[in-house]
Each structure stands twice: as structure tokens, then as C-alpha cells.
């Protein structure tokens, strides 16, 4: 895994260690700051195809330099609940898990883990449903394994 870090955050070793047991050969991770004026705390994109990366080995992360920590981020779970309106109409909602990140490094690992799940799906030839939930669950497993979050919700 090649990490091109344009930020002041020293995360290269932590990222390489976090994903050392997975296939990362040829994967490029670009870490930059969000554009000025961005309201996002962080954004991540896995590119299935990009100029110069036709084989799908590019992940871009952008983190907001003005984040205040601890920072709360919600991840999707596989549990759902149903609410009934006053007219009897049922709507299904997905439960979310809120994770509090103490440092920018932990946040970067969490979002990279989400995008990395999309990368693994791509190299394995998978294109199924519920990919965002699956990616969030993969990220939670990585964060729990690294003891960044507790295993209990």
C-alpha cells in the first residue's frame, strides 16, 4: 500500500499496520485536506476506475483540518426497527451506531476501513446489495480489533 499523505497527521505506519493482513499490493491511498469552506468532517472515496488507476486501486480521503475532537460519527448496523405512523403506515429504519473518535488518526483509520471494504469487494468481484452497511460493519470490526472502539454498542 502506497500512502500519499498531504496532511500534517502522522498516520502512515498506523494505516499500514491496520491493513497488513489484507491484500494491499498496488493500492494507493491519497490523504488530503477537505477544500476550504467544506462542512464535512471527512470524506472518502474508493475509485473502481480512475485515470491512471483503471484496475481500481485508488482510495482518496479528505479530512477537515478544523475538526474538533472528540468527534462523533455514525455507522450503519444490520439491525432495523419499524415505526407506525398515526395513519397505520409502517416505515422501516436502520439503527445507527455512534462512534466517538478521539484523534484524527483514529478517524482516518475508520473511514479508510470503510473504503477498504469497497476495495476488497471489487478485487473479489463482488457487487452485491447493502454495500454501505457492509462497509460500515467492516470498519467497525477493524476499529474494534485495534481497540479504538469497544466491541459493545
Asked whether the CA dihedral 151, 107, 142, 132 is positive or negative, the reply is positive
Q: What is the pLDDT of residue 153?
A: 54
State yes or no: pLDDT of 144 exceeds 80.
yes
pLDDT over 90, % of the chain: 68
Largest Cα separation within the chain, whole Å, is 55
Average pLDDT over residues 14-18: 92
Q: Can you name the residues that pair with 5 across neighbouring β-strands?
A: 31
Nearest to 117 by CA among 104, 107, 130: 130
Please give the order of strands across the beta sheet that includes 58-63. Answer: 2-5, 28-33, 58-63, 42-47
CB distance 64 to 42 below 8 Å: yes
75-105, pLDDT tens digit by residue?
998 889 999 999 999 999 988 999 999 999 9
What's the whole-model pTM score?
A: 0.88
Reading phi first (left if > 0) and then psi (alpha if -120 to 50, else beta), residue 94 is in beta
Q: What is the DSSP letter of 35?
A: P
Spatial distance between the Cα atoms of 59 and 47, rounded to a whole number of angstroms: 6
116-132, pLDDT tens digit by residue?
999 998 888 877 667 89
Q: For residue 148, give the C-alpha cell.
A: 479504538
State yes or no: pLDDT of 13 exceeds 60.
yes
Amino acid at each position: 500500500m502506497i500512502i500519499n499523505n498531504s496532511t500534517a497527521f502522522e498516520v502512515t505506519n498506523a494505516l499500514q499496520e491496520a491493513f497488513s493482513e489484507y491484500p494491499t499490493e498496488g493500492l494507493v491511498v491519497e490523504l488530503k485536506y477537505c477544500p476550504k469552506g467544506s462542512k464535512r468532517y471527512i470524506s472518502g472515496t474508493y475509485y473502481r476506475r480512475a485515470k491512471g488507476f483503471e484496475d481500481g486501486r485508488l482510495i482518496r480521503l479528505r479530512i477537515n483540518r478544523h475538526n474538533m475532537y472528540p468527534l462523533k460519527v455514525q455507522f450503519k448496523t444490520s439491525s432495523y426497527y419499524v415505526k407506525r405512523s398515526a395513519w397505520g403506515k409502517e416505515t422501516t429504519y436502520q439503527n445507527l451506531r455512534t462512534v466517538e473518535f478521539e484523534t484524527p488518526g483514529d478517524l482516518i483509520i475508520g473511514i479508510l476501513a470503510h473504503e477498504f471494504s469497497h476495495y476488497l469487494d471489487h478485487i473479489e468481484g463482488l457487487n452485491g446489495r447493502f454495500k454501505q452497511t457492509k462497509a460500515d460493519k467492516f470498519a467497525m470490526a477493524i476499529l474494534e480489533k485495534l481497540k479504538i472502539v469497544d466491541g459493545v454498542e
